[in-house]
Amino acid sequence: MKFDNDFINRLLTCKKEIVKTPGKPKLERGHYRIGFELQSEDKEFYFSAFGRYNAMFPENFSVGLVYIPKEEKGNYEILRCNGPHGEHKMFPHHTHYHIHKITTDAIENSLKEDSFIEITDKYVTYEDALRFLTKYIQLKPEDIQKHFPGNDLQMELFKN
């Protein structure tokens, strides 16, 4: 599989629809978690998406999109949006809201696919990040309304 910039852009911007719903969130090892599966509207590409946030520190969250190729084993995390999750000398971006994106350089040099990091101000809560992700990846508006209704996604998704 050739990961060039055009292919990555197609994966990120193709219109997507949910094929397996998020379901009930689960509390696992101190994090609330959801997962759902998507495909491109033309059914060419298949993805999984995830969301999680720390039960004690809700600003420590992550939402993302994973590409699952049909013709080979494995998968590629192509986008992940994180909240601040602790200061670390090696990873100064951890104190900021940030986005990890796949790059051709990472794939060609056998690096972790999310090694590109961009500090962002596009979201400041888990709810904002989930909204940002669903719009950025071109999830169908009907699916957003059906599976993530209301003004407060976090409360809707994670209430018991």
Cα distance from N-terminal residue to C-terminal residue, the chain: 42
Whole-model pTM: value is 0.84
Higher pLDDT, 63 or 107: 63
Higher pLDDT, 21 or 85: 21
Candidates 78, 12, 77, 83; CA nearest to 54 is 83
Span of 27-36, 61-70, 117-126 with lowest mean pLDDT = 117-126
Model pLDDT for residues 130-145, shown as the tens digit of each residue? 989 999 999 999 998 8
Q: Is residue 151 pLDDT above 70, yes or no? A: no
Q: How confident is the model at residue 119 (pLDDT cuts 50, 70, 90)?
A: confident
Which helix or strand (DSSP H or E) is residue 8 part of? Answer: helix 5-13
Q: Distance (Å, rounded) from C-alpha 101 to C-alpha 107?
A: 11
Span of 30-34, 57-61, 72-76, 109-113 with lowest mean pLDDT = 109-113
